[in-house]
Amino acid sequence: MSNRVPLVDYLVLDGEPHLTARECTRCGARYFDRRNACAACEADTFHTVDVATEGELRAFTIVSFAAPGIPVPFVAGVVDCAGTSVRANVVNVPADPRHVRVGMKVRLATVTVGVDAAGVEAVGFGFEPAS
């Protein structure tokens, strides 16, 4: 039995950690959530695809006020992973505009979320500077 669970169902921890997306079989639109149909073309069949683990930071913010339990400041952003946009925190970097800039190259990294009463660790993800 695994003693680790992913924070979300589209994070794969086995082997090299990576994200997956639900890709519309008709138009190729990609989604991370459970789907009823494709918002772009209305088709209702999807297959699972792997998302590139390296990308470019397209937008970010440094959040200083957040929900209880979330350490601040932290960097939130959108990463362009070879054409698939991913929402994530930027991790392993000082939360400071001198160290984070749009256009920077980043790669997927896993982060711990916590351990539950049964001793199972939840593992999340972020993107860290690639160079």
* Residues lying near other proteins in the complex (CB under 8 A): 5-10, 29-34, 39-40, 58-67, 69-70, 73-74, 76-78, 83-89, 97, 102-103, 113-114, 116-118, 120, 122, 124-125
Q: Which does 43 bind (CB under 5 to 8 A by kind): other proteins, Zn ion, none?
A: Zn ion
How many residues touch Zn ion under the rule CB under 5 A: the total is: 8
Least Cα distance to 47 among 75, 71, 27, 70 occurs for 27
SS (H, E, C) 15-66: CCCEEEEEEECCCCCEECCCCCCCCCCCCCCEEEEEECCEEEEEEEEEECCC
Kindly state the smallest distance separating residue 31's Cβ from Zn ion, in Å.
9
Binding site for Zn ion (CB under 5 A): 24, 26-27, 29, 38, 40-41, 43
